[in-house]
């Protein structure tokens, strides 16, 4: 076969392969079904829903899905990993004593271990871990995990709650996928503990792993619900971010996510 003809044949094969791959993926940048759920709950924001096999991705509000925002307490996913990997805490059951200072939520005002603190998003517990982890370790892990904008700022105990550390909903999805696939070079123990503390619901048909997060002032700000759901057919990853206009909107983070999963026939 002449060289020119061989090159032309090779190019055609490559283009055909890429076209086939593209056709096999279903991506909806402004999904109508998800929009209906948002309208029903009368709230603004974004939701990204992606399958493990990369064949389907549904997005409501593509612009916000690409906007970097404070991770708030969703950072507890990575924060837990770092604390475990650096042996700051031995497991999900080791207790840190409450200092006696009363905080906003009554559920925070007691001794906690990682499992209980993760569930109620107890800030002081993770702030104690942060003091021991230190800035250098955080920067090292941010590079290792390619997490968001990798910014810390001056206060080691608040950088994930304000203007420093930021991550997009789409970046949250990629982070969660790599955790699920065990792509990061961390111990099996850390993976198992993370799976344990992230488990929210377990039924005969699915298991839901998730973390809430919110950063608000006087009840206004934004809130997260990120995680994944495993079914017999597939695993789906979600990142929901809502504009919060009053504390009542916080419950909508999970409500909207579950409603979308049901509407798509995934649970």
Catalytic residues, by residue number, are: 73
Alpha-carbon distance 187 to 192, whole Å? Answer: 9
How far from 214 is each of 28, 158, 225, CA to CA, in Å? 26, 13, 9
**CB contact at 8 A, 86 and 130:** no
Alpha-carbon distance 219 to 221, whole Å? Answer: 7
**CB contact at 8 A, 196 and 12:** no
Residue whose pair of structure tokens reads 């950063």 in the numeric block: 215
Q: How far from chain centre, in Å, is Cα 48?
A: 11
Query: Hey, CA dihedral for 146, 192, 48, 120, is it positive or negative?
Result: negative
Alpha-carbon distance 191 to 84, whole Å? Answer: 10
Residue whose pair of structure tokens reads 């503390």 in the numeric block: 197
Q: How far from chain centre, in Å, is Cα 66?
A: 14
3-state secondary structure of 154: coil
């Amino acid at each position: 076969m002449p060289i020119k003809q061989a090159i032309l044949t090779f190019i055609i094969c490559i283009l055909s392969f890429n076209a086939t791959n593209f056709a096999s993926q279903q991506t909806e940048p402004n999904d109508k079904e998800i929009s209906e759920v948002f309208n029903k709950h009368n709230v603004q924001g974004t939701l990204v829903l992606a399958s493990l096999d990369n064949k389907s991705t549904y997005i409501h509000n593509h612009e916000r899905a690409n906007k970097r925002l404070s991770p708030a307490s969703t950072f507890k996913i990575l924060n837990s990993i770092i604390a475990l990997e650096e042996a700051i805490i031995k497991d999900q059951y080791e207790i840190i004593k409450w200092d006696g200072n009363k905080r906003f939520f009554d559920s925070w005002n007691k001794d906690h271990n990682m499992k209980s603190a993760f569930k109620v998003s107890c800030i002081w517990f993770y702030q104690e871990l942060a003091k021991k982890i230190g800035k250098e370790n955080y920067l090292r892990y941010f590079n290792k995990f390619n997490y968001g904008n990798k910014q810390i700022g001056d206060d080691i105990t608040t950088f994930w709650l304000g203007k420093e550390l930021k991550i997009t909903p789409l970046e949250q999805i990629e982070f969660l996928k790599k955790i699920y696939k065990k792509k990061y070079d961390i111990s099996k123990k850390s993976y198992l503990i993370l799976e344990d503390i992230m488990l929210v619901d377990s039924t005969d048909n699915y298991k839901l792993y998730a973390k809430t997060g919110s950063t608000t002032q006087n009840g206004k700000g934004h809130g997260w619900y990120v995680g994944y759901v495993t079914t017999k057919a597939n695993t789906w990853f979600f990142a929901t971010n809502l504009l919060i206009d009053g504390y009542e909107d916080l419950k909508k983070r999970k409500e909207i996510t579950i409603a979308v999963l049901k509407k798509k026939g995934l649970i």
